[in-house]
Structure 1
Amino acid sequence: MANEDRSVDSVSEATDVVLFDTPVFSEDVARIAAARLPWEQYRNAEILVTGASGMIPMYIVGSLLAVNDAYDLGLHVTGMVRNREKAEQRFGSALKRSDFTLLAGDVIDTKSFEQDFSTIFHGASPARPSLHKSSPVTTLKANTLGTINLLDALVEAGGKSFVLLSSSEVYGAVQGSELIGEDDEGTLQHFAPRASYSEGKRIAETALAAYADEFGIKGLSLRFGHIYGPGMALDDGRVQADFLADVVRGRNVRMMSAGAATRTYTYVADAVEGLFFAHLCGEEQVYNVADPSGNISIRELAQTFAAARPEMKLELNFVNPEDGRSFSPVASLGLDAAKLTALGWSAATGIEAGVSRCVQSFEEGPLIAGRA
């Protein structure tokens, strides 16, 4: 590892890193800021990013601040979070910047903001699958009431645009083996508590379409596939975070199944660059954000994590030994990003490089202590 003097115990106790203070994050957001995009559209903008301590929203904040450094746009970013103490650890040195403000609050609560925002990036939503099951009401409210509250605030302030961080889960179960396009539809069990997330995102998209039509704001729904990268918490609960936790703690990668299901895995910096392509150049209301070349099986993803540091000689451990001997990929369940690529966007980070950068963020630290 890069920090050879770091103890195993310190890594075992960590669940996250101070993302803003890692070289890998700085490199990523500088690369996004260097993209040939009409950044001038953000001149003197007051921008609100909700759920700001989450992986994708943090990259949005970091990219906007890097853009401000590069082009002196005079923009200001407010990051809204529910847990200020946790967020302060996540943001590190960013808290010292004059063009960034950290704001504690819950999007569920109707709130009057001290400043008027011209653009809102809405990423506040429980993202971990375990929370959708344990806190379905909170999940539903964040995506429905939260979206409507923020739209009301934007309209009242005379704001211009609203970007919703939506999800591929709005498609439900789509039949067939082709990549899923923006016009495809599947079935959802809307009466299940777990649907609080998928149906909540659907309602949020509908609310955005309604407000855009009635009040003339620019509404944009971005349906993200499976995003991974620096900023994932080790206790997130999704497979990519589980695999990362195994590697940074120096243990074999654990497989709960044969890992046949395939998904489009996209490196977070590529996904956020795609977000800005859609917001600054796009004319559609909905875009998929996914890297088609990252369309691999869960097992292939696990193998990539295990191989990220060859010197560690990590292997795959199967809970059911039979899963390790028999493996046949199933049909793809990934997203078609043709509309986004038509704007000039393309993913720049292959799966091996992206996984390596995930591990690198923990090697470089600094770490945030938490439950192992």
Structure 2
Amino acid sequence: MANDVTVFDLDVFQNDVRTIASSPLEWEQYRGQNILVTGAAGMLPIYIVGTLLAANDLHGLDLNVTGMVRRPDKARLRLGTALDRPDFELQTVDVIDRIQFDKQFHTVFHGASPARPALHKGSPVTTLKANTLGTINLLDAQAAKGGGSFVLLSSSEVYGSVAEEGLISEDSLGTLQHFNPRASYSEGKRIAETALAAYQEEYGIRALTLRFGHIFGPGLALDDGRVQADFLADVVHGRNVRMMSSGAAMRTYTYVADAVLGLFFAHLIGDDHVYNVANPAGNITIRQLAEAFAAARPEKSLHLEFANPDDDRAYSPVTSLGLSSQRLSALGWTPQHSLAEGINRTIASYEES
């Protein structure tokens, strides 16, 4: 089964984005806008693209979406029939390079970032540049064309290791091992957030940062390297779900459609500058996540296998990184999918392809 599928044309994906675009939000704010989505072939960005195009269909907004990517061949495969639409354009640009926009983008959704853990260790310089220089280059280009709204897709990793118990709020701050190649991702995201605040202050950019927990769903690459992708690959290929550690660490797992719905709640009706996006019901241990994936297809009779149950050294030293979504929930956002439903839809997307 192919790792890269035509995500845009999957029934599960189209159902998800139409449902998001049908939500009673202030979609009129996008009327007539030119909108840029960077990293447009990635799991979260492709859902943003799909939602905006679905909103255009449903609400007749006369908006135009540009998807910016670094690898056009992969992007064309994943975007499928989006490329045939008159309201969508694909551009090949590496955000690490200096950028000049040929038109004003009223809204920029910046999702171009090396998200795979293997890249943080194997290509820390590229990871750092994409998150820091990439963000600054885009902000420079937007400011040069008169400004607008800039939405940064950030990460729970900016919190580092938080000592307090319970779910982490937007005002929490932990420690990071910054003199470590793996910090190229977490520190890079921190700098990106600071850059956004600086450009808001000096150039009037409307700044919004979304800190996502661990996201899964259609478009998640089977070789992504994060545990949710490993477990998905095991189920798709009919293998017992293999764990490389005891799985005691806790994270917040959220289905991608719920996460993107939260993004649009924050952008269209929120007035804070930073929001966590995570389903609090998905705050579980890695082992519980593995069990949920194994149980999703009972006909395959899958069970857990442990390679090194007492060895957690290869993974993030942060044992608990669950996010509080109270600020986002106060806007009326509610996740629409349980963990089991999200896992079922994710697996179904690969079965469909």
- Name the TM tier (shorter chain): over 0.9
> Does 2:20 correspond to 1:37?
no
Q: Please report how far the alpha carbon of residue 78 of structure 1 lies from its aligned counterpart in structure 2 after TM superposition.
A: 0.4
**Secondary structure of the structure 2 residue equivalent to 1:162:** strand
**Aligned equivalents of 1:58, 1:159: Cα separation in 2:** 24
The aligned residue for residue 64 of structure 2 is 76
Q: What TM-score, normalized to structure 2?
A: 0.96
Distance 1:199 1:331, change over 3 A: closer
Q: How does 1:329-348 map to 2 (within 5 A)?
A: 332-348=320-336
**Aligned equivalents of 1:201, 1:89: Cα separation in 2:** 28
**Secondary structure of the structure 1 residue equivalent to 2:209:** strand
> Does 2:276 correspond to 1:280?
no
Q: Please report how far the alpha carbon of residue 116 of structure 1 lies from its aligned counterpart in structure 2 after TM superposition.
A: 1.8
Give 1:89's match in structure 2, choosing from 64, 67, 77.
Answer: 77
Q: How does 1:90-109 map to 2 (within 5 A)?
A: 90-109=78-97
> Does 2:143 correspond to 1:148?
no
Unaligned runs of 5+ in 1: 1-10, 324-329, 366-372
What is the alpha-carbon root mean square deviation over aligned residues?
1.3
> Does 2:294 correspond to 1:306?
yes
Give 1:224's match in structure 2, choosing from 212, 227, 234.
Answer: 212
Report the residue type matching 2:18 in the other structure. Answer: A
**Aligned equivalents of 2:201, 2:337: Cα separation in 1:** 37
CA contact (8 A) 1:178 1:333 kept: no
Q: How does 1:144-223 map to 2 (within 5 A)?
A: 144-223=132-211
**Secondary structure of the structure 2 residue equivalent to 1:132:** helix
Q: Please report how far the alpha carbon of residue 16 of structure 1 lies from its aligned counterpart in structure 2 after TM superposition.
A: 2.6
Report the residue type matching 1:285 in the other structure. Answer: H
Q: Please report how far the alpha carbon of residue 251 of structure 1 lies from its aligned counterpart in structure 2 after TM superposition.
A: 0.8
**Secondary structure of the structure 1 residue equivalent to 2:258:** helix
Total equivalences in the alignment: 347
**Secondary structure of the structure 2 residue equivalent to 1:234:** coil
> Does 2:122 correspond to 1:134?
yes
> Does 2:110 correspond to 1:125?
no
CA contact (8 A) 1:81 1:103 kept: yes
Question: Where do 4+ consecutive residues of structure 1 move more than 3 Å?
Answer: 320-323
Q: Please report how far the alpha carbon of residue 176 of structure 1 lies from its aligned counterpart in structure 2 after TM superposition.
A: 2.6
CA contact (8 A) 2:8 2:81 kept: yes
**Secondary structure of the structure 2 residue equivalent to 1:352:** helix
CA contact (8 A) 1:177 1:333 kept: no
**Secondary structure of the structure 1 residue equivalent to 2:12:** helix
Q: Please report how far the alpha carbon of residue 321 of structure 1 lies from its aligned counterpart in structure 2 after TM superposition.
A: 6.7
The aligned residue for residue 315 of structure 2 is none
**Aligned equivalents of 1:207, 1:321: Cα separation in 2:** 41
The aligned residue for residue 253 of structure 1 is 241
**Secondary structure of the structure 1 residue equivalent to 2:275:** strand
CA contact (8 A) 2:101 2:145 kept: no
Q: Deviations over 1:334-361 (max 9, x none)?
A: 0001000000001011000000011000
**Aligned equivalents of 1:331, 1:198: Cα separation in 2:** 16
**Aligned equivalents of 1:69, 1:49: Cα separation in 2:** 18
| Greater RCO (Cα-Cα under 8 Å, separation 6 or more) | 1
Distance 1:41 1:254, change over 3 A: same
The aligned residue for residue 289 of structure 1 is 277
The aligned residue for residue 352 of structure 1 is 340
Give 1:319's match in structure 2, choosing from 307, 323, 328.
Answer: 307
CA contact (8 A) 1:21 1:93 kept: yes
Q: Please report how far the alpha carbon of residue 159 of structure 1 lies from its aligned counterpart in structure 2 after TM superposition.
A: 3.0
**Secondary structure of the structure 2 residue equivalent to 1:16:** coil
Q: Deviations over 1:232-282 (max 9, x none)?
A: 000000000000000110111001111111111000000000000000111
Unaligned runs of 5+ in 2: 312-317
Q: Deviations over 1:65-110 (max 9, x none)?
A: 0000000100000000000011101111111001011110101111
Q: What TM-score, normalized to structure 1?
A: 0.91
The aligned residue for residue 327 of structure 1 is none
CA contact (8 A) 1:162 1:220 kept: yes
Q: Deviations over 1:173-220 (max 9, x none)?
A: 101321000010000111111111111111110010011111112100
> Does 2:234 correspond to 1:242?
no
Q: Please report how far the alpha carbon of residue 114 of structure 1 lies from its aligned counterpart in structure 2 after TM superposition.
A: 2.2
**Aligned equivalents of 2:326, 2:259: Cα separation in 1:** 14
